């Protein structure tokens, strides 16, 4: 994980985008350090995919300043494309080609020499545990294998920043865990990951920092722990040995709720170490010993609901339906080698 003094891989100030009367991004600010995993959460239509499309040079913003790998996506798109990779929700794998052929095709698009392209393909097949399937067509791959191949194709160009849009949609639990391990290793190797997801456990597990986007605005930014502390409902549960101990603890903790049948107390707390220390100090001063102690904090689903008025279960894990400009100001290059600029 990068330190607080790491330089920024991605910055944006006042980023705006509209389609007609519909405001998709309403002046968002981003500051993402190198070598970290940043997760953008939000309900359908919040603007997540639009933000990725702008930062990866696929469409232009209507306003705002931004830098990706130190370059302006609008004025220096080629420099940005050389530094990034994009893995979308829907796989870009060619089903008619083998795993090895998909990788060597990407090597050709990145203008790697024949020998270097083969070396890079072999390295990535090994890294993503695809050696045994290398000569099989991608049509025969499982969902998890396809996602691993898709990400491997993104890495052919050795990007410093990777945009992952819903990378584990539709995967079984084992395949999701494998993808999580791969993503964390990439960050440990210094790659910056921009992750959009609606699986809140995924963001909780992976992200160094999380932003919640709703109706085109960032409504919260912080670590998972910081966001959880913003939501009420956290508490510490104490189990005592007998009624006498319960009475003593209740007197020491006058803000608690007791359950005489279960011999437990529930004390409001924000889940921080300081609140736990304060509670233990009060119990020590009263000479109370506790049999069991557990800390309960709101999860990211609680945060999501509190900030957006919806739970993650009420949204479908798809990209937000931002249309493409009818006359884009940053059209795709005509050079065939540049048609997949961010892979």
* In the chain, where the domains are located: 8-97+156-229+303-338, 235-296
The CATH fold assigned to 235-296 is: Alpha-Beta Plaits (3.30.70)
Could you tell me the two tokens for 315? 């949204």
pLDDT at 184: 94
Residues 6+ positions from 230 with CB-CB distance below 8 Å? 220, 222, 303, 306
d(CA 152, CA 20): 37
For residue 332, what pLDDT is reported? Answer: 38
Q: Which residue do the tokens 């986007």 mark? A: 213
335 burial via Cβ count (<10 Å: 0-12, 13-18, 19+): exposed
Which residue in the block uniquely carries the two structure tokens 């083998």?
98
d(CA 265, CA 258): 4
Summarize pLDDT for 247-302 with one digit per residue, the tens: 999 999 988 999 999 999 999 887 778 888 999 999 999 999 999 999 887 888 88
Q: How far apart are the first and last CA of the chain?
A: 24
Cβ(227)–Cβ(194) under 8 Å?
Answer: no
Report d(CA 215, CA 16) in Å as an integer: 12
Q: What's the pLDDT score for residue 169? A: 80
DSSP single-letter state for residue 213: E
Q: Which residues of the chain are modeled with pLDDT < 70?
A: 1-6, 89-90, 310-343
Name the residue among 339, 327, 337, 241 with its Cα closest to residue 292.
241
**Which structure tokens are listed for 334?**
């005509």
The CATH number of domain 8-97+156-229+303-338, selected from 2.120.10.30, 3.40.50.300, 1.10.340.30, 3.30.70.2200: 3.40.50.300
Spatial distance between the Cα atoms of 200 and 202, rounded to a whole number of angstroms = 5
In whole angstroms, what separates CA 214 from the centre of its chain? 16
DSSP-assigned states of every residue in 32-85: EETT-EEEEE--TTSSHHHHHHHHTTSS--SEEEEEETTB-TTT-HHHHHHHEE
Sheet holding 235-239, edge to edge: 257-259, 264-268, 235-239, 292-296
Q: What is the DSSP string of 260-271?
A: TTTTEEEEE--S
> Pick from 187, 237, 189, 235: which is nearest to 207 by CA?
187
């Amino acid at each position: 994980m990068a330190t607080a003094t790491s330089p920024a891989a991605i910055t944006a100030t006042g980023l705006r985008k509209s389609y007609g009367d519909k405001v998709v991004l309403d002046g968002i600010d981003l500051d993402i350090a190198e070598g970290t995993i940043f997760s953008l959460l939000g309900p359908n239509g919040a603007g997540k995919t639009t933000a990725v499309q702008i930062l990866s040079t696929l469409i232009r913003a209507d306003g705002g300043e931004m830098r990706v790998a130190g370059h302006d996506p609008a004025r220096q798109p080629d420099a940005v494309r050389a530094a990034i990779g994009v893995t979308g929700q829907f796989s870009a794998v060619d089903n008619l080609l083998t795993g090895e052929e998909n990788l060597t095709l990407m090597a050709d698009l990145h203008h790697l020499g024949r020998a270097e392209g083969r070396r890079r393909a072999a390295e990535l097949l090994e890294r993503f545990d695809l050696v045994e399937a290398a000569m099989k067509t991608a049509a025969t791959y499982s969902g998890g294998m396809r996602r691993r191949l898709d990400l491997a194709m993104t890495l052919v160009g050795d990007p410093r920043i990777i945009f992952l849009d819903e990378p584990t949609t539709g995967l079984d639990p084992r395949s999701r865990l494998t993808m999580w391990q791969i993503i964390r290793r990439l960050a440990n190797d210094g790659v910056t990951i921009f992750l959009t997801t609606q699986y809140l456990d995924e963001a909780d597990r992976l992200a160094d920092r999380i932003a919640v986007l709703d109706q085109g605005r960032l409504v919260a930014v912080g670590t998972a722990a910081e966001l959880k502390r913003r939501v009420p409902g956290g508490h510490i549960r104490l189990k005592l040995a007998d009624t006498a101990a319960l009475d003593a603890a209740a007197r020491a903790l006058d803000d608690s709720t007791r359950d005489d049948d279960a011999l437990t107390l529930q004390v409001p707390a924000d889940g921080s170490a300081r609140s736990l220390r304060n509670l233990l100090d009060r119990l020590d001063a009263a000479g109370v010993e506790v049999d069991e102690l557990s800390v309960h904090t709101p999860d990211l689903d609680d945060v999501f609901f509190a900030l957006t008025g919806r739970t993650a279960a009420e949204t479908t894990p798809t990209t937000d339906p931002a249309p493409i400009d009818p006359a884009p100001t940053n059209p795709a290059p005509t050079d065939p080698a540049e048609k997949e600029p961010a892979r």
